């Protein structure tokens, strides 16, 4: 997969809804009902972070739920990429970008949303052919004002800001011309997952979709 093809696909996925849920699952049994709730609430693009032992099984389960596009987040190494692709991930998200990680995604035909926090990092990825990026960590890197400033000289790059994005500040990001969507974890609170409150999660998803 070429960088151009990867960015075209990740941009398509990011355009599906204003918010991409960033999901941390401790129990793979929660994966399918969580996916159904989020999709029903209007959020079909789902990022399962590889931060727990249940993550790959969760991706496998979510990949079977109709209407969703399941990706793997927190890709760090080529082994992460291969494991995510084998589990059924349809796209990948990384906090940053290394040559080895990018090469692995291209070899595995896994569209990558690579992370960048500075203009230099964004320019480096653009030079490689990636024009759809994750701005991470968004709030710690200056928030919406910083992303607006980066967009002035680099208008051809689209961003998905993630990290500290919440219902209180999401609109400030989504109003920027260089933001395609934002990533957020608030739509799938751990306490609601543990309680099996899928209707409550669907309500949170609908509110996020309304952004």
Nearest of 75, 72, 79 to residue 97 by alpha carbon: 75
Q: Which helix or strand (DSSP H or E) is residue 45 part of?
A: strand 45-49
Find the catalytic residue in 85, 106, 134, 202: 134
My answer on whether omega of the bond before 137 falls inside 30° of 0, hence cis, is yes
Find the catalytic residue in 47, 106, 108, 202: 47
DSSP, residue by residue, 85-145:
HHHT-SEEE-SS--HHHHHHHHHTT--EE-EE-SHHHHHHHHHHT--EEEETTTTTTTHHH
Catalytic residue status for 190: no
Angle in degrees, 0-180, between the axes of helices 31-40 and 198-209, rounded to the nearest 10: 40
Catalytic residue status for 4: no
Chain-centroid distance, C-alpha 56: 16
Catalytic residues: 47, 134
């Amino acid at each position: 997969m070429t960088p151009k093809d990867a960015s075209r696909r990740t941009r398509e996925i990011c355009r599906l809804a204003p918010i991409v849920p960033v999901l941390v699952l401790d129990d793979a049994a929660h994966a399918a009902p969580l996916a159904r709730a989020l999709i029903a609430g209007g959020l079909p693009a789902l990022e399962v972070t590889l931060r727990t032992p249940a993550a790959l099984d969760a991706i496998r389960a979510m990949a079977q739920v109709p209407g969703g596009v399941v990706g793997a987040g927190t890709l760090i190494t080529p082994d992460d990429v291969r494991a995510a692709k084998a589990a059924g991930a349809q796209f990948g998200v990384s906090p940053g970008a290394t040559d080895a990680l990018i090469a692995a995604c291209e070899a595995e035909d896994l569209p990558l949303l690579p992370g960048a926090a500075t203009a230099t990092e964004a320019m480096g990825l653009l030079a490689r052919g990636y024009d759809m990026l994750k701005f991470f960590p968004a709030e710690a890197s200056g928030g919406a004002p910083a992303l607006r400033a980066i967009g002035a000289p680099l208008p051809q790059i689209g961003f998905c800001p993630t990290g500290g994005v919440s219902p209180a500040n999401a609109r400030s990001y989504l109003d920027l011309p260089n933001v395609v969507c934002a990533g957020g974890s608030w739509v799938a609170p751990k306490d609601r997952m543990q309680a099996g409150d899928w209707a409550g999660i669907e309500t949170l998803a609908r509110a996020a979709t309304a952004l």
